[in-house]
Structure 1
Amino acid sequence: MRASGLAFVALVTLVALVTLTACTGKPPSSDAITGGNPRHGLEAIQRYGCGACHRIDGVPGAYGTVGPTLQKIGERAYIAGKLPNSPENLQQWIRFPQRVVPGNAMPDLAVSELDARNIAAYLYHQ
């Protein structure tokens, strides 16, 4: 497909997404934009112990103050003060925080790709 054809397909897709959002009055769901499942994300957040360092609404015992609150993370412009806020960047940060910002306080926890998608879905779902 030629570049002009690809641009047309991208434009049609964007118009359809905007139209769908306008018709339903709701933005796409967190699971749709991340490819994850918020329910499984809650389980993963608890399993990795994210609440020891972060405040996370809806997660029992997640009142940590070492890291920033993760409330309304979808409304922020940047993740870790460095990455533009997108599902892909949030997942990268969750999986590889030391690669993104070497020496920061968030440890690499060997979070799987699937768990990162699910955690992102939960955080964007709030």
Structure 2
Amino acid sequence: MQGCAPLKKIHDVFALLYGFFRFLQEQYVRETPRCPTGAAWLLAALACALACALAGCGDDAAPVQRVAGGDPARGKALLMQFQCGACHSIPGVEAARSTAGPPLDTFGRQSYVAGRLPNYPEPLVRWIVDPPGVKPGTLMPNLGVSPEDARHMAAYLYTLR
């Protein structure tokens, strides 16, 4: 069921409800009736309604954060140029496989930057430009990244989901 999150959700909900139904049946019904009872039909109808309600129709993935004036392709090149891979593993960036800093493979889904800033473009750009100025005592150095370059780098980081 790859590629169809709503159907996967429906399947998971039905599997859960079927297991619950079987548990109740084993606990409270000594002999399995040959013909489904009214309660069984009601449970099946409720299971169907619940599964449909929980499945939803939309895409599970949040949209990629947009950075004003940021070009993800340029940002990828800048991440290589500033050798961010010396500390981080960054998908798509050549030789960026280090584990000294946190991996950035799902950066676009993270809630915070550096554990304290909300993960929005402006705080991220400030962080990339001057990490010690934003979080004194951080191990991430100030690499002399300009605000313009930081916008491009942020644009690429937000594509990592």
Fold conserved (TM > 0.5)?
yes
Which of structures 1 and 2 has the bigger CA Rg? 2
Identical-pair percentage: 46
In the alignment, does 2:159 pair up with 1:120?
no
In the alignment, does 2:101 pair up with 1:62?
no
In 1, Cα distance between equivalents of 2:62 and 2:101:
28
Residues paired across the two proteins, number? 101
- Work out which structure has the larger RCO, using CA pairs closer than 8 Å and 6 or more positions apart in sequence: 1
User: Of 141, 144, 151, which residue of structure 2 is paired with 1:107?
Assistant: 141
Q: What TM-score results when the alignment is normalised by the length of structure 1?
A: 0.74
Equivalent position of 1:73 in the other structure = 107
Equivalent position of 1:34 in the other structure = 67
RMSD over equivalenced CA pairs, Å: 1.7
Displacement after TM superposition at 1:124 (Å): 0.4
User: Of 110, 117, 127, which residue of structure 2 is paired with 1:83?
Assistant: 117
Moved over 3 A (4+): 25-30
Query: Which structure 2 segments of 5+ residues have no match?
Result: 1-58
Query: Which structure 1 segments of 5+ residues have no match?
Result: 1-24
In 2, Cα distance between equivalents of 1:114 and 1:28:
23
Displacement after TM superposition at 1:103 (Å): 1.7
In 2, Cα distance between equivalents of 1:34 and 1:109:
21
